[in-house]
Amino acid sequence: MSPPDPGFFGNLPGVHDDMGQGENDHISRLNGTSDDPNNYGSTSLEPTDPNPDWPHYWRVQSVFAHVRHETMLPQNPSEPQGTFDAAYKSCLGTLGNSIAPGLAQAADILMVGNRTGVDPTLLSVTWRFEGGYDQFGFNFQPTNGFHTRNTEIGDVGPGALYPPTWNKSPYTDGLSNPFGTNLNKGQVFNGNAFENLMVAGRALGTAQGAQRANAAGIYRAGSSTNPGYKERVQNFKDNARNYDAFYGCLAKKGFSP
């Protein structure tokens, strides 16, 4: 696959013209420097494969420019301790046997948490079990899953959302392409992954603590009596401690929703 043309970046979340115009003061502060003209340099993710997955590679580059610019604000007055990519790497050891989200994926999860109030662990478990994962972490472009035997439309995107249920206000307010055009089961998701996660975050709600397991089950099954509810509750319980530790580690370094 060839490197994307410039239009590729327009479909990424938070890629703003002002990034290219040198408005880097906020990014520089997040990186621990003052008005650093090289604010992009600390996230240098060079592809090791001679034929890399270019959309994924460029998405990582672009997301992290946005992360430093807009969203990764500490909840306490102290400045973040270094760059987000360094914090991510140093916190991976807290995940135990849970799947690592991926660098850009963790950034998206925190951004969605910032904008919707969804708990990062709840969204992580949902993405991991609904959208699946690959060698890069949670999957940005999953294959649409089976919804029911009577529907040709599948469960779409990282959040595995069924468009007839979720493609409406208030879940899609302010979003332009959360579902894409490939809606049938078996097709590969071609919408905006971040916006799909925004819909998922709004659907999951703002449950905290022990209530998160129920929210995960309801998201999966629609009701506590439907098939899939108990399985997803158990999925959440099996992974919650690890993801809580991971996002707690990032928060201690100044990166939280």
List, for residues 193-252, the tens digit of each pLDDT value. Answer: 999 999 999 999 999 999 999 999 999 999 999 999 999 999 999 999 999 999 999 999
Confidence of residue 150 (pLDDT cuts 50, 70, 90): confident
Q: At what angle do helices 211-221 and 120-130 cross, to 10 degrees?
A: 30
Phi, psi of 116 (to 5 degrees): -115, -20
Q: What pLDDT is recorded for position 43?
A: 36
169-191: average pLDDT: 97
Task: Give domain status of residue 90, yes or no.
Answer: yes
Contact (CB, 8 A) for 157 and 193 = yes
Q: How many domains does the chain fold into?
A: 1
**Number of neighbouring beta carbons within 10 Å of residue 167:** 16
How far apart (Å, rounded) are the C-alpha atoms in residues 232 and 147?
16
Q: Pairing mode, if any, of strands 137-138 and 133-134? A: antiparallel
Confidence of residue 81 (pLDDT cuts 50, 70, 90): low
Of 105, 107, 99, the C-alpha closest to 69 is 107
Task: Give domain status of residue 257, yes or no.
Answer: no
Bigger pLDDT: 25 vs 92: 92
Domain span holding position 141: 6-252
Task: Give domain status of residue 234, yes or no.
Answer: yes
Task: Give domain status of residue 1, yes or no.
Answer: no
Measured between alpha carbons, how far is residue 219 from residues 4, 132, 156, 201, 214 in Å? Answer: 35, 16, 14, 10, 9
Task: Give domain status of residue 68, yes or no.
Answer: yes
99-127: average pLDDT: 98
Q: What pLDDT is recorded for position 79?
A: 56
List, for residues 6-36, the tens digit of each pLDDT value. Answer: 443 333 333 333 333 332 332 233 344 444 3
Query: Of all residues in the chain, what percent carry a pLDDT higher than 70?
Result: 68
